[in-house]
Chain A
Amino acid sequence: AQKVTQAQTEISVVEKEDVTLDCVYETRDTTYYLFWYKQPPSGELVFLIRRNSFDEQNEISGRYSWNFQKSTSSFNFTITASQVVDSAVYFCALSEAGANSKLTFGKGITLSVRP
């Protein structure tokens, strides 16, 4: 069975600080997919990034970066120079390969960025 653990529940930082959101996953499959979603106060989940299990290359997109390490089963997300608009709940999710596979979500991390 697959599992996603987001041990941090709430993080509060001051604007312009860097912040890292942790995600640890469990799966028996060799092919799987990892995702990060952002849920702002409006409630809609916004897709941020997808990685597949064969691509451990880290990715940077503007102020966002992701560190995928299969050796530790982690897929961490860093926001550099945080802004108030980054305040949201962030979910990490895992999907195994194969037909009709479903997403398993972590419990989410509430990030508050104070001005």
Chain B
Amino acid sequence: SQTIHQWPATLVQPVGSPLSLECTVEGTSNPNLYWYRQAAGRGLQLLFYSVGIGQISSEVPQNLSASRPQDRQFILSSKKLLLSDSGFYLCAWSGNYVAGRGYEQYFGPGTRLTVT
């Protein structure tokens, strides 16, 4: 079965510090990978998605970046954090498109980031 891991689970960082959040998937190959952010009391915002190694699409302009150095590894980074980067970050994966099923996404446990 497939599992998705995220770490760290919680993080408190000062403004201006760098950020690196990691997501890994087990039990599948060539997944689509996604980073979402959920600000307090709000819905999910798609930040990045990747359909393969080195292939990253950005959904919103921001001071965050994403990388996919390996097939099942997805990293979210920032060189200098802003207060507005605080939130709950979720990684998700989906398999290949299947007619009748589309792209079901499965989510990791999330990382709660507080920028102080």
B: residues with CB less than 8 A from A are 32, 34, 42-44, 46, 49, 51, 57, 59, 88, 90, 92, 97, 100-110, 112
Contacts and interface: CB of A to CB of B under 8 A. Distances in A.
B110 A97 contact: no
Nearest to A107: B43
Contact of A50 (B49, B59, B101): B101
Interface of A: 32-33, 35, 37, 42-47, 50, 52, 54-55, 91, 95, 97-103, 105-108
Nearest to A105: B44
Contacts of A52: 100-102
Contacts of B106: 47
Contacts of A42: 109
Given A37-B107, A47-B105, A102-B34, 20 more contacts: A35-B104, A42-B109, A43-B109, A43-B110, A43-B112, A44-B108, A45-B90, A47-B104, A50-B101, A50-B102, A52-B100, A95-B102, A95-B103, A97-B102, A99-B97, A101-B102, A102-B46, A102-B103, A105-B44, A106-B43
Contacts of A35: 104-105
A103 B92 CA distance: 11
A50 B104 contact: yes
A108 B43 contact: yes
Contact of B46 (A97, A99, A103): A103
A102 B105 CA distance: 9
A44 B97 contact: no
21 contacts: A35-B104, A35-B105, A37-B107, A43-B90, A44-B107, A45-B44, A45-B90, A45-B92, A50-B101, A52-B100, A95-B102, A100-B32, A100-B49, A100-B51, A101-B97, A101-B102, A101-B103, A102-B34, A102-B46, A102-B103, A108-B43
B49 A102 contact: yes
A35 B43 CA distance: 15
B79 to A, nearest CB: 26
Contacts of A50: 101-102, 104
